[in-house]
Chains A and B, each alone.
Chain A
Amino acid sequence: MTWLEGNASAATDLSTVLGARPELMERFTAFYETLCRSQAVPDRLRELCRLRIAAVHGCDAEWQQRHGHCSEAELSALKRGDFSMFSAEEQQVLAIADTIPFNHHGMADEQVHAVQAALGDQGTVALLTACAFFDVICRWKITLGVTA
């Protein structure tokens, strides 16, 4: 349920709530789809980051969304924060995703530079922006009390 009047008794998702501001929803959807379809970052890396950030927040509404394939073992590892089963490149981006929700000032230059070496400037900007907005989405969903 959500705390918003008029929807309090219904199971709601973010798009239903944003429907109260259709112009805002339209622009948000266009932005978020562009962010999530950017070819500057491999889809799998972006999805791993999204899921890890959802896990850090304990945001079940976001965690339950599946935009790509992860095995049950990978999902379990993401939830625990144990990245040892992932590739070196995946571990680098997951380390960044891990810091963004509650330790963004703790991110080291070396972490960013490692990702930069793998993805280039464009990919790094796209990845960091995606991570920042995955963080926003979790906070948004938790605050609104939506279910998906």
Chain B
Amino acid sequence: MSTTPRIGAADPRQAADFGSVMAHTPDIIGRFFELYAEFWQNGVLAPELKELTRLRNARITDCGY
């Protein structure tokens, strides 16, 4: 498991986080955010239920981010 970011931010003035690293592929992350927004903002599942599953998934996969 990496303890430091393996890939730096696309803009070297920024800290390496999910958004700044994914900015290396702006076309991909742009489409991803459109998809993710649709998932979170619409649909028949309550936001609280989606958040519960997101947190549980993060815990199971040991993703501290």
Contact = CB atoms under 8 A, between A and B. Distances in A.
A126 B7 CA distance: 12
Interface string A104-135: 11110100110010000110111001000000
A129 B28 contact: yes
Interface string B2-38: 1000111010000000000110110110011011001
A36 B38 CA distance: 20
A24 B10 contact: no
Contact of B2 (A24, A35, A109, A121): A109
Contacts, number: 63
Contact of B38 (A23, A106, A112, A125): A23
Contacts of B7: 112, 116, 121, 124-125
Given A40-B25, A104-B61, A129-B25, A31 B6 contact: no
* Most interface-central of B2, B7, B28, B34 (chain A CB within 10 A): B28
Given A27-B34, A31-B32, A109-B2, A125 B21 contact: yes
B39 A24 contact: yes
A125 B61 contact: no
Contact of B28 (A23, A24, A27, A34): A34
Contact of B10 (A21, A27, A121): A121
Contact of A126 (B2, B28, B42, B61): B28
Contact of B27 (A23, A24, A38, A116): A38
14 contacts: A27-B38, A30-B34, A31-B31, A31-B34, A34-B27, A38-B25, A105-B1, A106-B1, A112-B2, A116-B6, A124-B7, A125-B7, A125-B28, A129-B22
